[in-house]
Chain A
Amino acid sequence: MIEAVNFHEKSAWASLIAIAAVHIPYFAIVMPRPETGLGLLIVATIGLIILLTAFHVANALMTKSIRTTGATPRPDELDRLIEYRAAKVAAFVLACVVMTWILIAVAGLPGLAGEDSRVALTPILLAVQWLYAGFVVANLAYYGLIVGGYRRMAHG
Chain B
Amino acid sequence: MAELVITNRIRELRFAAGEMSQQALADQTGITRQTVIALEKGKYYPSLELAFRIAAVFGQPIEAVFHVMPG
Binding site for B on A (CB under 8 A): 4-9, 73, 76-79, 81, 150, 152-156
Contact = CB atoms under 8 A, between A and B. Distances in A.
> In terms of DSSP, what is the predominant structure of the interface of chain A?
helix
Interface residues of B, number: 15
Contacts of A155: 34, 37
B50 interface: yes
A79 B32 contact: yes
A156 B41 contact: yes
A153 B46 contact: no
Interface of B: 30-35, 37-38, 40-41, 43-44, 46-47, 50
B30 A78 contact: no
Contacts of A8: 32
B66 to A, nearest CB: 15
A78 B35 contact: yes
Given A6-B32, A73-B32, A81 B44 contact: yes
Contacts of A76: 30-32, 35
